[in-house]
Structure 1
Amino acid sequence: MNAKPLIAITGASSGIGEAAAKAFCAAGHPTLLMARRLERMKALALPNSICRQVDVRDREQIKDAVREAEAAFGPIDMMFVNAGIARLADISRQPPEEWDEMIDINTKGVMNTVHAVLSGMMERRCGTLFMMSSIAGRKVYPDHTVYCGTKFFVHGVSESLREYLAPYDVRVVVISPGIVETEVLNGVNDPITLANYRTNKAAIDGGIGPEHVADLMLQTYNLPQRALVQEICITPTRQKY
C-alpha cells in the first residue's frame, strides 16, 4: 500500500486533467486516470497509475474503475471531477444535439463522478472533491449559452455539496479558470464562434499553462483537512473579463 493516498481524475487524457495527473504523481500519489482516450493516458507512463477508458455519462463505468483502483491502492482521497466539453456556438444556429452532449457530460457526468466516491468519503470523514467549473460559471459570455448553464450548474451543486459535506470534514473546491492552453477549441464546431474566440485569445497573448492550475490544486490539497480553499479562480493577467 502506498504511503500517500489515491488520487482519481476524470478527463485525464489532456489539458488540466493531464497536468493534474503529472503533478500528483510527481508528489508521490498513486492515480486512477479516467477518460475516453485510453491510449493518451497510457502514453503518460505514470508510475503507480491505473488508466481506464471511461465515459462519465456511464456511471457504472466510473464505479467499476473506482472499485478496481481502490482494491489496488486503497481509498480515493481526492476526486478531480474534471471531464467536460465545450460546444460553443451562437444559440440560434447551434444544433440541439450539441446542447444534449454538453448537458449530459458537464452536468450528469459530474453527478455520476461524485456519486462514485461520495459515500466512501463520508464514511471515512475525509476526502476532497475538486469540481471543474470555469469563469463561465461565474459570468456569461457570447456564444457560451448552454456551456455557461452547465458551469453555473457545477457552481450551484458544489455550494450545496460543500454545505452538506462540511460536517463530515469532506472538502469541496471549485476550480474556475479563464483561458488556459488546452484542447477546448477542438470542441467548437461553429466557425464564426471559433474565429472570435481565437481573436480574443490572441489579443491577450494566449492562455496560461494547465500546469499552473495543477500546481494550485496540489497546494490546496496539501493544506490541513480542516482548511478549505472554496474556489480557485485563475486567469491570464491580461484577461479582464
Structure 2
Amino acid sequence: MNAEITKPLAVVTGASSGIGAATARALSDLGHPLLLLARRVTRLEALGLPDTLARAVDVTDAEAVSAAVREAEARYGPTDLIVNNAGVMLLGEVAKQPADEWQRMLDVNVTGLLNGVRAVLPGMVGRGRGTVVNVSSVAGRKSYPNHTVYSGTKFAVHGLSESLREEVAPHGVRVITIAPGAVETELLSHTTDETAKADYQAFKDAVGVLTPQDVAAAITYAYQQPQRVNLREIVLAATAQAA
C-alpha cells in the first residue's frame, strides 16, 4: 500500500463510462484509491487515475467480483465504499421483448448488485463501518412506458437496499440509494427496440437530462457525510423532467 494514501479504498462497478466513470474521477480527486470494475478494461485504464486497480469483471460473476476485491484490499486496505453502478436498460413492451433481455437485466441489475454487496459487506460489518451505494433510478419508484422489466429490477434495488439498510445499521454500515432520472449515458444504446429507443431519445432531448457528473456529485456528497449520518435515498432529475 502506498504510504502517501490517506483515504480508504472505494470500489466502483460499471466504471468504464457514464455515471461510473464520473464517480471514479470524483473519488480519485478526493484522494481515494480505487478498484474499478467493468467488462471493458481498456476504458478503465484510459481514465488514467492514480492508485487505481482496473479489472475486467462482469458483475454477474460472483467469484470474479470477490477476487478483484480481495486483490484490491491486499494492495490498498479495506473497502470503505462500494458504488454498485453497473446496470443495463433494455426498453420494450413485455409482449414483444425477447426473454433473454429480461434475464440480462435481472442478472446485472439485481444479482450483479448483490454480488458487489456480498464481496465487501462482511468486512464492513466486522469493522463496524462502511458505505454501500446502490445506483437505482426514478424508474424504481414509478412506472414508465416500455420500462416494465427494467423498472421491476430497479424496484428490486430500492426494496433490497432498504431491507439491507435495516440489517446493517446496527453494525455502523450505511446503505444509500441513488435514484437518478434520465442521464446522458450509453444505457439507451443497448435497447434493441428501435421505436422505444426513439421515443426515449425524444424525451431526453425535450427535458435536457442530467450529466453523469451531476449524479457523481450526489454520490460523493452522500458519502462525505459523517459516518453517523445516512442519507438513505437521493432522488435527482433534470428540473424539466416533471415525471
Asked whether 1:191 is paired with 2:209, we answer: no
Residue identity opposite 2:80 in structure 1 = D
Asked whether 1:210 is paired with 2:212, we answer: yes
Q: Give unpaired runs (5+ residues) of structure 2.
A: none
C-alpha distance in 1 between matches for 2:195 and 2:16: 28
C-alpha distance in 1 between matches for 2:38 and 2:201: 26
Relative to the length of structure 2, the TM-score reads: 0.97
Residue identity opposite 2:42 in structure 1 = E
Relative to the length of structure 1, the TM-score reads: 0.98
Report the alpha carbon displacement of residue 208 of structure 1 after superposing the two structures with TM.
1.3
C-alpha distance in 2 between matches for 1:69 and 1:165: 23
What does residue 151 of structure 2 align with?
Answer: 148
Aligned residue pairs total: 240
What does residue 41 of structure 2 align with?
Answer: 38
Q: Give unpaired runs (5+ residues) of structure 1.
A: none
Aligned pairs (5 A) from 1:1-241: 1=1, 2-204=5-207, 206-241=208-243
Identity %: 50
Report the alpha carbon displacement of residue 222 of structure 1 after superposing the two structures with TM.
1.0
Output the aligned Cα RMSD: 0.7
C-alpha distance in 2 between matches for 1:190 and 1:105: 19
Which moves more between the two structures, 30-39 or 1-10?
1-10
C-alpha distance in 2 between matches for 1:52 and 1:62: 9
Residue identity opposite 1:167 in structure 2 = P
Report the alpha carbon displacement of residue 212 of structure 1 after superposing the two structures with TM.
1.1
C-alpha distance in 2 between matches for 1:214 and 1:100: 28
| SS of structure 2 residue aligned to 1:226 | coil
C-alpha distance in 1 between matches for 2:211 and 2:203: 17
